[in-house]
A = this chain, B = another copy of it.
Amino acid sequence: MVKESSVPEVVILRLPLYIRALSQMSAEGKTVISSKSLGSRLQITPAQIRKDLSYFGRFGKQGRGYTVDSLIETLTNILGLDRRWNSCVVGVGRLGKAIINYPGFVPEGFKIISAFDNDVNKIGQSVNDIKILPMNMIRSTVEKHDIKIAILAVPATSAQNVITELVDTDIKAILNYAPIAPKVPPTLILRNIDPVLSLQSMTYYLQ
C-alpha cells in the first residue's frame, strides 16, 4: 500500500506548538535551546521533539542544541507559514462575527478576505471592514482572490450542505465550527473546533 506521506499527522500537529514556544523563547532572548528545555516548556519528552524534527532533517548541533531563530524559520517553512493564506468566513452570525473581529484569533499569515451569508438583511453590510456577500458568490470570489481556506460558522443544520457547496470550489481546507462530523472528500483538509465535545468528554474524569 502506498503511503501518502511518511510524516505522521500527530507530528505535524505538534509543529505549530514548537514554533510558538520557540518564538516565546526567542523573545526572551534565548538564542540556542536543547530539546530538553523546549520539552520542559511544552511538557513533551525531549526524545519526542528530536524524533519529530528528525522527520524533516538534522537541524541541531550535538553538544549544543538548536539555534532558536533558524529552527523557527525551518519549521515555519515546513508548515508553509512563510506565505500568506487567504481565507473566508462562511456564516456571519454571532460566532462568525466574533471570528472576524477577534484580534489575534487568526494569526499572522491568515488573512480573512471575505465573508458570506444567506441572510438578505446581512448581505451588503460590513464586519470589521469585510463586506458580507451572498453565498452564491463564493465560487467566483474564492477563485478571484485565491482563497484556499474556509472558516465555517453556520448552524449545524446547514453545515453539511454548505460543505458540499464548498467542495465544488477552489477551497482546499475547512476549519469547521459547526458541531457535526461532516463528510468531505479526502482531497479536502478538515479540522473541527468543537468545544462541546471537549466538555462532554471531560466530565467522564470528574465523576
List residues of A whose CB falls within 8 A of some B CB.
12-13, 15-17, 19-21, 41-43, 78-81, 85, 94-95, 98, 101-102, 104-107, 110, 148-149, 172-173, 175, 179-181, 183, 189, 191, 193, 195-207
Q: Whose C-beta in chain B lies nearest to the C-beta of A94?
A: B102
Q: Whose C-beta in chain B lies nearest to the C-beta of A16?
A: B200
B149 touches A199 (CB 8 A): yes
Q: Find A81's partner among B16, B149, B200 (CB 8 Å cutoff).
A: B200
With the chains together, A65 CA to B21 CA distance in Å?
Answer: 48
Q: Give the Cβ gap from A160 to chain B, nearest Cβ, in Å.
A: 11
Q: If A195-B105, A195-B193 touch, does A12 touch B179 (CB 8 Å cutoff)?
A: no
A79 touches B43 (CB 8 A): no
A203 touches B98 (CB 8 A): no
A94 touches B85 (CB 8 A): no
Q: Give the Cβ gap from A95 to chain B, nearest Cβ, in Å.
A: 6
With the chains together, A180 CA to B201 CA distance in Å?
Answer: 21
With the chains together, A189 CA to B207 CA distance in Å?
Answer: 12
With the chains together, A8 CA to B81 CA distance in Å?
Answer: 34
* Chain B residues near A172 (CB-CB < 8 A): 206
* Chain B residues near A102 (CB-CB < 8 A): 94-95
Q: A94-B98, A106-B199 are in contact. List 5 more A-B contacts (CB 8 A).
A: A43-B181, A95-B98, A98-B98, A107-B199, A193-B198
Q: Find A200's partner among B19, B43, B201 (CB 8 Å cutoff).
A: B19
Closest 8 CB pairs of A and B: A16-B200, A191-B198, A98-B98, A80-B203, A80-B207, A173-B202, A16-B197, A189-B202
